[in-house]
Structures are given as structure tokens and as C-alpha cells.
Chains A and B, each alone.
Chain A
Amino acid sequence: MVTIYIAFTIVNTFRNYKNIPFRATHPELIREGTMSEKRIIYLDHAATTPVKPSVADAMWPYMNDHFGNPSSIYRIARESKNAIETARAQVAKAVGAEPGEIYFTSGGSESDNWAIKGIAFANRKKGNHIITSAIEHHAVLHTCQYLEKEGFSVTYLPVDRSGLVSPPDLEKAITDKTILISVMYANNEIGTIEPVAELGAIARKHKIPFHTDAVQAIGNVPIDVKGQNIDLLSLSAHKFYGPKGIGALYIRKGMKIDNLIHGGGQENRRRAGTENIAAIVGLGKAIELATADIGWHNSHIRALRDRLLTGILEKIPYARLNGHPEKRLPGNLNVSFEFIEGESMLLWLDDEGICASTGSACTSGSLEPSHVLLAIGLPHEIAHGSLRLTLGDANTEADVDFVLEVLPKVVQKLRDMSPLYRKSGKEGGCNV
């Protein structure tokens, strides 16, 4: 009875959403009533993205009529099974893989954990050396640190000032004990796109499995696992307008890899657990749309990003771009403002309805600023003053112009309060 009631309520809530007109500022993505009355300018698409209405629509039947367990044999179960296989083909097509090489997981973190632990443990007899980069997501870094405790040794490749890993550095780091190379496709903080095909070619030459965390890259950069010599690739739906808690790992056919999640025989006996069908369908639909729209998406958000960057550098002195000027994700902007700290910037921006992010310690739950910003050689105090703005499909020029109106005031307000600004003799506009 209770279940039926809950299901009924969910149905109604969902249906009601669909009848509400979308907001004028974000016609496609932001539904009325889901956010506060105040205008919200969402500029944190690297953190997560809203689910596209057409993706949510595609998911709905699998929380409703098609609820069958795909492992069962009756008709409604077969519908679930078919839906999963359609999604698998959609994901495969998006990255240039075979459907049989795609395994659904609970998201980017699980895919990274599986790829790294799975390859490491399966190849333990061959060697114990892993190569990764200093700027990986914590899902990779903390997994590698865990493996260090388990007797593996890990090389963390440095990056240059723009965040690039050097292919010759990789080649030099390889030993006869190296069993895995894992370098991210594109960085989540500074947006730098790594020379993945070259790194993959080196790994291939030495016959070492090559994994890439492409969580930030999907939908922004065309990916071809075969052409780019990628053996394992992690992706996560919520970064490209799909639902949270669902992702996939591409595993090239013939890879020797241990399971991470043990149990039932799902996912070709490689990843146990009753499938989250609705989410899998959402992932399939979202990746299909993301790769089909990639041209429009890229030019739209790149134009907005460039307008934002130009405006910021024009209006705010002592600001610098972090990351590579060209080899970066189209929607990523990461800037440091001298003399001020990032969290206080975010709080003021939030007050104006602008959602952003920072690499300052103060939001990371530790007192150290972002390892990525330190790895590109920023001094601590400059890393503390970083601001990440990541654009998305629903952003408009009006959004950018609003940020350009608000941000200089916020920066100035905090600088006026900062003893560093005074010390450096830059108070009162008599600088330049």
C-alpha cells in the first residue's frame, strides 16, 4: 500500500514537472520551481549537469511499466534487457568501441577504481609498478595510494605549467615492472586536455594497458578508443546531462582484469548487481545526444567561455588564466585572482545566484589547496584565490554579462579587505 502510494506520488510529481513552463533564461534545462525564486546562473558544469528533459523522459518507462529484472525470462524482463543492450550500443558507438567492451558501473569513481585495481591485481605476477599523473581526480589518486599500501609502487608524472603530461616523461618512467598507465583525458579543474593518443601509443609500444579517465571529456572532445590506443576508459553520465550514479568502463577485448564487485552474473559476469535500468537508459540517451550535439555544444560554450575570459582579464587586474590556453575543455575557465581567497568569492557569487567552484583549501575539507593547482606550479596563495567557472548548454550571453558585472565588484570588495593587497601597494587603483 505504502509502496503504491509512493509510486503514485512520484508519478504525479514527475508528470507535474512536465506541465510547468521552462524558465525563460534557461528554456531547455532549468525547470520552474526546482530552484529558488532568484535567478540562478549555473556555472559549475564540471561538478555536474542538469538532466536533459528528453533523457528523463527516456528513463521514465523503466521506473514504471518496464521494471522487470533483466535476468528474468518473462516479457517485461526482456524489455529491460533490450533497453540495456540498446544503451550499451549507444555508449560503444560514442567512444568507437564494440558493445561487448562496455560495462555499466555506478559512475566515474567506480570505473576508475575497477580499471586500476582490476588491472593491478590481475597482473600482480608480472609486476607492481603503476604510472599515473600528479593531476588525476581523487578517484584515481586515492586508488593508487591505496595500492601503494598493498605493495604496488606508483610514479606520479609531473605536468608542465599548463597542466600537460609529457609523452617522453612517460616513456622514461616505464620499467619492466610497469603493469598499468593511467592518465586522464581532460582535467576537471583546469580543463587541460592531455595528449592521450600519444600516451596511448607509447603504452601500446611497451605492451602496457592504458587507462584514461574521460569523465570530463565525453561530449566535449571526440573520442575514438581504437584510434587513440585506449585500453580502458572511464565515463560518468552526470557530466553530460545524464543522471547521477551511473557510468561505464570500456575494457578492450582480451584485457586481463579482475572484478571489483563480486556477486551475480550481470555484465557478462564482470560486474555484479541488478542493473539500474532507468539510469543505464538515461546514460545511453545522454551520450547519444552529447556526441550528436558535440559541434553545436562546443562552439556555443567556447564562445561564451571566451567572452567571459576576455571580460574578466579586461575588467579585473591581477587575474591569470590557469591551465592551457588552447588545449582545454571548451566550457572550462579557471582563473586566479591575487590577494583574495576563493571560498569568500564563492559565497558572494552565491549571494548573487551564481554557482561556481574553487581550488582553495577552504572548500576541500583540508587546509591544502588543490593538488592540481600546486602541480602546475602555482604558489599556495595564488591557488587559494582560484575560481572555476564551467559553462553548459543552457548558459547565455546574458549569464556571462551578469557575471562580468558582479565578479569585478566581488573581487574588489575582498581585495579592499585584504592585507595582502595593501602590502603589495596595489590599493586605490594607483597600480598598473
Chain B
Amino acid sequence: MYSDKVMDHFKNPRNVGEIENPSGVGEVGNPVCGDIMNIYIKVENNVITDAKFKTFGCGAAIASSSMATELIRGKTLEEAWDISNKAVAEALEGLPPIKMHCSVLAEEGIHKAINDYRKKQGLEPWAEKNPHSHDHSGDSTCQP
């Protein structure tokens, strides 16, 4: 059911853990729906120099968190902001339709962590370009 890439990131998740004194934290998801993702970032000179995660969730949620942290490491905040849920899913060689929401969570986690950082810097948080642009393809949303 899962691609080899998903299984690889599930079994050998990259960047598990927390960052001490993180520049920003993104907490998304809900235990009622069965997934919670926390993304921690360290930002130096507008570049994400470190990213870590802690996740409660299924195989796809853990793999999406792992992939998301990999994708944003070394990126500028602008580049990281532009990583879509689709990009996360594609980097994982696809997710089953019912699991697309896991990649949506990853995108939201990145955005929240970046805006958390911006707020701490006294900057205006960036607005979601289009909150309905996620590719949910077949996703059903959990209403807690």
C-alpha cells in the first residue's frame, strides 16, 4: 500500500526529535483525528539550518514529517514556505488518496513553524496564499 520511499522514511525517519530553543515551532493536527505533527526549525540569516519533528500518527504521517524536515533543511524561509503538500507527497513517491491529509499536515506544520518564527521576530505572519489550494485528492477531513 505504501511506496518504498514512504516505508524508508517511516522505518528510518530523518530528524526525529526537538530543537532546544527553536526559532519556530509548528504544532498541527488533532489527537481525535489520529495525527499530531510538531515541526521545529532553527533559522539563521533567513535560512533553515536545522529542522526536527515529533509526530503521533500513522506510517504516512511519520514519513511525511520526516520528508518535510528533509525538504526544508538548508532552504530560505521563502523557499520553504513554497513547499506544497503535493511536493511532500511527490518526494515520497506518492501517498494513498486517503493519506493525502498527512502531507497537508506537513505543509501546515512548515507554515506554522515559519510564522511562529516571524512572530517572534516581530514580523507580520505570512498569509496562506490560498487556503483551499491543497491537493486533497480523495481526502476526507476529520471533524474533531
Binds B, one of A90-98, A152-160, A235-243, A340-348: A340-348
With a cutoff of 8 Å between Cβ atoms, the chain A residues found around residue B101 in the complex are 367
Tell me if B117 counts as interface (CB < 8 A to partner A). no
Instruction: With A362-B34, A367-B33, A384-B34 as known contacts, state yes or no: A344 contacts B11, CB within 8 Å.
Output: no
- Identify which of residues 27-65 in chain B touch chain A, using a CB-to-CB cut-off of 8 Å: 27, 31-38, 54-62
Expressed in whole angstroms, the Cα–Cα distance for A40 and B37 within the complex equals: 33
- Identify which of residues 336-364 in chain A touch chain B, using a CB-to-CB cut-off of 8 Å: 339-344, 347-348, 351, 360-362
30 A-B residue pairs with CB within 8 Å: A339-B56, A340-B56, A341-B34, A341-B57, A343-B58, A343-B59, A344-B59, A344-B62, A347-B7, A347-B11, A361-B142, A362-B57, A362-B59, A362-B60, A365-B98, A366-B140, A367-B98, A367-B140, A380-B33, A381-B56, A417-B13, A417-B16, A417-B56, A418-B36, A418-B54, A418-B56, A419-B36, A419-B38, A421-B56, A422-B54
Residue of chain A at shortest CB distance from B140 = A367
Expressed in whole angstroms, the Cα–Cα distance for A252 and B106 within the complex equals: 56
Residue of chain B at shortest CB distance from A368 = B142
Expressed in whole angstroms, the Cα–Cα distance for A140 and B55 within the complex equals: 36
Residue of chain A at shortest CB distance from B62 = A344
Cβ A341 vs Cβ B27 within 8 A = no
Instruction: With A347-B59, A417-B54, A418-B56 as known contacts, state yes or no: A367 contacts B10, CB within 8 Å.
Output: no
Tell me if B141 counts as interface (CB < 8 A to partner A). yes
With a cutoff of 8 Å between Cβ atoms, the chain B residues found around residue A416 in the complex are 16
Expressed in whole angstroms, the Cα–Cα distance for A226 and B2 within the complex equals: 49
With a cutoff of 8 Å between Cβ atoms, the chain A residues found around residue B35 in the complex are 341
Contact code string A318-344 (vs B, CB < 8 Å = 1, else 0): 000000000000000000000111111
Candidate in B16, B32, B99 with the most chain A CB atoms within 10 angstroms:
B32
Instruction: With A351-B11, A419-B27 as known contacts, state yes or no: A369 contacts B34, CB within 8 Å.
Output: yes
Instruction: With A369-B34, A380-B31 as known contacts, state yes or no: A419 contacts B56, CB within 8 Å.
Output: yes
Output the least CB separation between A215 and chain B (Å): 26
Cβ B58 vs Cβ A417 within 8 A = no
Expressed in whole angstroms, the Cα–Cα distance for A11 and B107 within the complex equals: 55
Cβ A419 vs Cβ B54 within 8 A = yes
Q: Chain A: residues with CB nearer than 8 A to chain B? A: 339-344, 347-348, 351, 360-362, 365-369, 380-381, 384, 416-422
With a cutoff of 8 Å between Cβ atoms, the chain B residues found around residue A365 in the complex are 98
Expressed in whole angstroms, the Cα–Cα distance for A421 and B56 within the complex equals: 9
Candidate in B11, B27, B56, B61 with the most chain A CB atoms within 10 angstroms:
B56
Cβ B56 vs Cβ A420 within 8 A = yes
Expressed in whole angstroms, the Cα–Cα distance for A340 and B58 within the complex equals: 9
The B interface, classified by DSSP as helix, strand, loop or mixed, is mixed
- Identify which of residues 72-126 in chain B touch chain A, using a CB-to-CB cut-off of 8 Å: 98-99, 101
Output the least CB separation between A6 and chain B (Å): 30
Output the least CB separation between B141 and chain A (Å): 7
From A344, A420, A422, give the contact of B10 (CB < 8 A). A344
Cβ A361 vs Cβ B36 within 8 A = no
Cβ A362 vs Cβ B11 within 8 A = no
Output the least CB separation between B81 and chain A (Å): 23
From B27, B34, B55, B99, give the contact of A417 (CB < 8 A). B55
Cβ B16 vs Cβ A341 within 8 A = no
Output the least CB separation between A377 and chain B (Å): 15
Cβ A360 vs Cβ B34 within 8 A = yes
Contact code string B122-144 (vs A, CB < 8 Å = 1, else 0): 00000000000000000011101
Expressed in whole angstroms, the Cα–Cα distance for A27 and B72 within the complex equals: 52
Instruction: With A367-B140, A367-B142, A381-B31 as known contacts, state yes or no: A360 contacts B58, CB within 8 Å.
Output: yes
With a cutoff of 8 Å between Cβ atoms, the chain A residues found around residue B59 in the complex are 343-344, 347, 362
From B18, B38, B141, give the contact of A367 (CB < 8 A). B141
Instruction: With A341-B56, A362-B58, A418-B56 as known contacts, state yes or no: A367 contacts B34, CB within 8 Å.
Output: yes
Expressed in whole angstroms, the Cα–Cα distance for A166 and B98 within the complex equals: 37
From A343, A348, A361, A418, give the contact of B33 (CB < 8 A). A361
Candidate in A339, A341, A384 with the most chain B CB atoms within 10 angstroms:
A341
Cβ A419 vs Cβ B98 within 8 A = no
Instruction: With A351-B11, A367-B140, A417-B16 as known contacts, state yes or no: A381 contacts B34, CB within 8 Å.
Output: yes
With a cutoff of 8 Å between Cβ atoms, the chain A residues found around residue B142 in the complex are 361, 367-368
Candidate in A339, A362, A420, A421 with the most chain B CB atoms within 10 angstroms:
A362
With a cutoff of 8 Å between Cβ atoms, the chain B residues found around residue A344 in the complex are 10, 57-59, 61-62
From B18, B32, B36, B98, give the contact of A420 (CB < 8 A). B36
With a cutoff of 8 Å between Cβ atoms, the chain B residues found around residue A360 in the complex are 34, 58
